[in-house]
Structure 1
């Protein structure tokens, strides 16, 4: 069963990378990237690595892929 997420409730949620790189395993959603047209859905979020503070922008749907991400810190 695929993970169901509401993109508007992702802010400050915690995620664990299934295959960590550069000691970056734990992440927090620090920002929702809102579309210019408020009627359009959110498509991207900003993730920040807890270890390095490096940020990256990803499509929020990527977080539903269990081969890449686990919800929470594990």
Structure 2
């Protein structure tokens, strides 16, 4: 999942293309991963989102479209 490319179906803060820049490890470490940090390709702004949001085709398309 790290460094995968995503396109927002609806732009977020005028940004459309993102990379998964970090996988947030849970505390304690035996818990499931819930969050990832996405980075806008153009502005480099980062945002935390639940990783499961990326599986919603109404919000995200894998790759850059």
**TM (normalized to structure 2)?**
0.93
Take 2:48 and 2:12, find their aligned partners in 1: how far apart are those partners?
Answer: 16
In structure 2, list runs of 5 or more residues that go unmatched: none
Q: 1:67 aligns with which of 46, 49, 58?
A: 58
Q: How many pairs were matched up?
A: 65
Shift of 1:21: 3.7
Corresponding residue for residue 30 of structure 2 = 39
**TM (normalized to structure 1)?**
0.82
Corresponding residue for residue 16 of structure 1 = 7
In structure 1, list runs of 5 or more residues that go unmatched: 1-9
Take 2:32 and 2:9, find their aligned partners in 1: how far apart are those partners?
Answer: 27
Take 1:58 and 1:12, find their aligned partners in 2: how far apart are those partners?
Answer: 15
Contact 1:23/1:51 (<8 A) preserved: no
Runs of 4+ in 1 over 2 A off after TM superposition: none
Give the 3-state SS of the residue equivalent to 2:52 in structure 1. Answer: helix
Per-residue CA shift, 1:4-60, capped at 9, x if unaligned? xxxxxx100000000114431100000000012121110000000001111000000
